[in-house]
Each structure stands twice: as C-alpha cells, then as structure tokens.
C-alpha cells in the first residue's frame, strides 16, 4: 500500500518542536535592572553570589563590580538545577553611589556538573589591571584548565587573552598555552612525564576579538 505524506502534520510537528526549542532557550533568560542602588539589586530571585570582584573596569576612577551568580537549588542534593547556567554580571559604579548594568552572560561560567569527575570547574574570579580574569579547572586523571581575560574597550567587552592547560594527574606531564589575542603572542610550555619543561614562543594569526555577548564556552 502506498503511503502518502501529510504536509500539514509535518508542519504541525515542526511548529511544536520549534516552540519547545524556544521555550527551552527562554527558560534560562534573566532580566536584570539597568540601574540599582547596591550590588544585590542585580541578583535575580532564587540566586546568590558565588564570588565577587571589585575594581575600576571602565577607567573612570569609580569602583565597579563583577559577580558570578548561581541558582540556590544547586546547593540541594540531587537537584535538577545542578547543570543550569550560572551568570556573569558586570556592573559599573556611578558617581554619587549605585551601579549601572554593563553586561550579563549565561555562557561564560561553566555549570556545577561541567567539570567531570573533578567536580565544580569554577575556580576563581579576579580583576587584574582593569581586566576580568576567570579561571576554570576540571577533568579526572586527565585534567584541563582555562583562563579567560576580558577587557572593556570601544564601548563593549572583548576577550583579549586565553590560556589553557592540560595535564595528567598521575604521570606528571602537562602542556600550557597562553595567547595574547590582541598581539598574537603565544607562549607554550610542555613537560613530558619524565624530563624538563620546555618553553617555546611564537606568533599566531590575529583574528577579530570575540565579544562577551557572542561568547560560547568551548572546551
């Protein structure tokens, strides 16, 4: 018996799938205020500050703040929220008091379960020489680490530095790679399981810098 296609039914399934995808994308969408009197004004309901750093990020002489936020449900055992996005929130201090929202990202901080056997991969948040530096570390016997350096320039946030590390916890071998994405300067250090570490320096092609608003963690 010949089977006939049912375009109407196919379109229906397609529309349902699209709506489900949009709903999934929207369920982690957060709306933050544009201004607030305190840092806590930029913490959505149900969230808490994991780590906070303070420093002058836009070179106006007023202290700014960077927050890493997590869903409070993460703290409950067997929670469905263990792999929900964490938030990076950047706020600029205002003369006379208060803050304005500069940027927010759901794709910059790895989730609680993204580190593999090693556990929570989020390691540190710092402000160094006016840049935001974020460290991650994870894996099992074979481990990995990343350091991303962000800077506010030309009215937006750009990734200006990227460092990575791979190592074996038992054999003792490792490789690090530190790249200045503005100049293309790259430093690689390799150490075999037996022997001394060797450092090489090179230049890599300079590409357009990635914006925080378009960033997706790739590891």
pLDDT digit string, tens, across residues 57-82: 999 999 999 999 999 988 887 766 66
DSSP states of the chain: ------HHHHHHHHHHHHHHHHHHHHTT-----SEESSGGGGS-TTEEEEEEEEE-SSSSSS-EEEEEEEEGGGGSTT-GGGGSPPEEEEEEE-TTS-EEEEEEESSSS--TTTTGGG---EEEEEEETTEEEEEEEEESSEEEEEEEEEEEETTEEEEEEEEEEEEETTT--EEEEEEETTT-EEEEEEE-SSS--EEEEEE----PPPBGGG-----
Mean pLDDT of the chain: 87
**Would you list the domain boundaries of the chain?**
32-214
pLDDT at 43: 97
Q: What is the pLDDT of residue 5?
A: 37
* Amino acid 12: pLDDT: 36
pTM of the model: 0.85
């Amino acid at each position: 018996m010949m089977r006939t296609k049912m375009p109407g039914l196919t379109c229906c399934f397609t529309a349902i799938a699209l709506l489900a995808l949009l709903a999934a994308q929207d369920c982690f969408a957060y709306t933050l205020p544009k201004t607030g009197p305190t840092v806590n004004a930029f913490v959505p309901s149900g969230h808490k500050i994991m780590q906070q750093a303070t420093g002058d990020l836009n070179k106006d002489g007023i202290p700014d703040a960077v927050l890493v936020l997590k869903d409070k449900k993460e703290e409950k055992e067997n929670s469905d929220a263990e792999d929900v996005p964490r938030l990076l929130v950047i706020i600029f201090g205002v003369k006379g008091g208060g803050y304005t929202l500069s940027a927010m990202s759901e794709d910059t901080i790895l989730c609680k379960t993204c580190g593999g056997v090693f556990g929570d991969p989020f390691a540190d948040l710092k402000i160094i020489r006016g840049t935001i530096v974020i460290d991650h570390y994870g894996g099992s016997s074979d481990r990995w680490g990343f350091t991303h350096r962000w800077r506010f320039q030309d009215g937006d946030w750009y990734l200006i530095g990227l460092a990575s590390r791979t190592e074996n916890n038992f054999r003792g071998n490792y490789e690090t790679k530190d790249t200045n994405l503005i100049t293309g300067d790259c430093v690689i250090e390799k150490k075999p399981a037996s022997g001394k570490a060797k450092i090489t320096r090179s230049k890599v092609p300079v590409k357009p810098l990635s914006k925080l608003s378009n960033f997706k963690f790739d590891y």
